[in-house]
Structures are given as C-alpha cells and as structure tokens.
Structure 1
Amino acid sequence: MQQLIIFGTGPLARLLHHLIETTTRDKVVAFTVDAAYKTCEQFEGKPVYAYQELEQHLATDNIKLLCAVGYSDMRARQQLFLRLKADGRRFYSYISPAAVVDSSVVLGDNSVIMANVVIEPFCVLGDNNLLWSSSTLCHDSTVGSHNFVAAGTTIGGCCRIGDLCFFGFNAVVIQQLHIADESLIGASALVLHDTALAGKYIGSPARVVSTHQDTGIRL
C-alpha cells in the first residue's frame, strides 16, 4: 500500500481520489494546492493543506504526490509538474486495474492510465501523461510528456508524439506519424499526415485550421 497526496481540488482530483480509493489498496491522505488557491479546509472528506505549508502538517518523506491538474491550460499543467519535480517530490502514478499495459511499456512519473486503455508492447511514455478510458496506443510508439489523450482515441503503431499535445474524443492517428509538440487534435479527427508545431487539426481527414504558438493549448 502506498500513501499519496493529490495536488488539486477540481473535478479531476475528485475523480482520481475516487478511483484510487475504490480500485487500489493505496490511500489518499490529503489534498494540497498553492496557498493562493486554498478555499476550503476539507475536500472529499480529506484535509486540504497549502502546498507551501505541507511539511508543517505531514511527514512527507514516504508520501508520493499525484498532480491532478486538467487540460484547460496545458502549459500551466506542465509548469506545475516541473515546479513540483524541482522541489524534489516523488510522484505517484495511477494505472487502472482494468487497463491493459504490456510489461515492456515504459511509463514516466505522474502517469494516469484509465480503465480499458490498451498500451501495446514496446511503447515508451514520458512524464505527466493522462490517457483516458478506452484509448489505445499501438506498438512501438513513443510519447513525450504532459500530453492529454481523451476517451476513445487510437494512435497507430510506430508513432512519435511530442510534448503538450491534446487529443479529443475518438481521434485517430494512423501509423508511423510524427505529432509535433503542442498539436491539438480535435474530436473524431482522422490524422493521415505529420503535424506541425502548435497546430489545431480538425476533420476527417484532419486539416490545420489555426495555430497557438503564443498561448499554447487552452480549452
């Protein structure tokens, strides 16, 4: 059994708390947020501590941290993870017992793998990735860090996914493609060609409709 603290008090934090406590033997002991965002003393029946005061309340040496921040601002999600890592935090990963993750797969820190996800052999994933339910990552694909993959997405074999990408519901990427950093792939998009940096792609077949290099992905 592992003990962990969840960073965040939003819908994703609530969901992950429920999943961890109902599908694993691990235990959430508290929630934490930056002091400026602390608006309650308890969340889901657990104490909420200001991150800057965490060690005043808990001996954290043997407690891992799960960063549960959603996709509304992808760069902010990345920056928070990197700040916590620079603080020397050790991260917890949640892998649903209903997921199929081959034993050859390499997962980075702060991974969230939801129910019915399939990750085929010889895939490598970086840090802070979230794969939502019933998504599939086919064999020999590599995934960078800080990506969000919505439910039902399929990514073909031997693909290279960059950092900070977002895949909408039921998106499909065919095999052997390169999805550049900060690509936004819309719901039900069918990607048949490599993408360009910070492009938004929609449709079937997918086409680029805008870019967001200045702001990053915000939804």
Structure 2
Amino acid sequence: MGNDFESILDDGMFSDVVMKSVDGTEYKVHKVVLASRSLVLKAHFAHHTTESVTNVIESPFEAHVLFEMLKFIYSDKASGVHDIPEKLLAAAEFYQLSRLKTLCEDALHKKLTIENVLETLELADLYSAKTLKQLSLEFIKYYQSEMLITKIKAWSNIKSIDLIKTIYEYIMVDEPNVKKVQCMESPHHTDIV
C-alpha cells in the first residue's frame, strides 16, 4: 500500500493542494493524506487560514528535504534519512511527524563520533529529540577522557550555557557504586573515585 501511495505523490493525480519548498519547487499533494499524517498540516486545512483558501502551503524547507518528508508521509518510508538526518529531523519536528523523528534520531545516533557528538547534542536539544539527547549525553560521559576541552574544538561552538550545564551535571552525577572521598588538596572539596 505504501508503494501505491508513493506513486500517487509521484504523478500528482487528483491532487488538491500544492506544497512549495523554500527554493520554489512545487509538489502536487493531497489534503487528506497530509492531514492524516500531520497535525500541523491538518490545522492548515481545518481552520480559515491562507493555506486553506489558496491551497498552497509554503514550506520553510529546501526541495530535497521537503520531497523526502513527503515520501515519508505518503509511503511511511524514509530512504533519505541516512543522507540528511539533520534536515529531516528539523522537518519532522516542524510538522510533528513523530515516527520520522524517531528514524532521524536513530540515524544520528548511529553516526555519533567524538568529533560530532556535541553538534548532535545541540541538534537534539534544539528539536526536542529526547532520546537522541540522552544517547548523546551517555556517549559524552563514556568518552569524556577523550573529549577534553583542549582536544575538541566543538566545545567553543556550543551556544547554550544551559546545555553546557546539562553536560556537566550528567557527567558528574554520582554512579550507584561510586563513593566520594576527601580530596588531598583541600578538606572542603570532594573527589570521585
């Protein structure tokens, strides 16, 4: 059935609305399909909005991102998720496509490296990708010795003080079998061993 719906997208037959990318590419689509998959798109048609009057939806996404998202809406397949997971995550969040968002989080998790984990964490924070955020924090904690501030340039690119605080708190949280002992330098500080 997914292939049948994808072919409907490809030929645009019986379309009743146009979805336009930010760079001007137009896709002939179907209100009923869009509304059944996205509450955001459903709201465009359920209320007296510009989109419901003109039957044109202006999307903030580039043509290749919009097309991959539409393919997902029509077929429940996300073939481009491994090529552009960051961009599809933004689209999934924007249009409230939770399954696509999960697929993007999974693809980004599989790509985690010491070099990109901070950027991925920021992305997860920006788009409320809770699972990806948690997995990124666990990755940072596990590889913290290799991620010293002096070794990773990405630390200086983090814009959110709250995110830095979250990383610090996550790394410093007490493990169940870890005990604190007095530090030799100062009787007022503790160190984890």
Q: Identify the TM-score tier after normalising by the shorter chain.
A: under 0.3
- Relative to its length, the structure with more helix (as a share) is 2
- Relative to its length, the structure with more strand (as a share) is 1
TM-score of the pair, normalised by structure 1: 0.24
Structure whose CA Rg is larger? 2
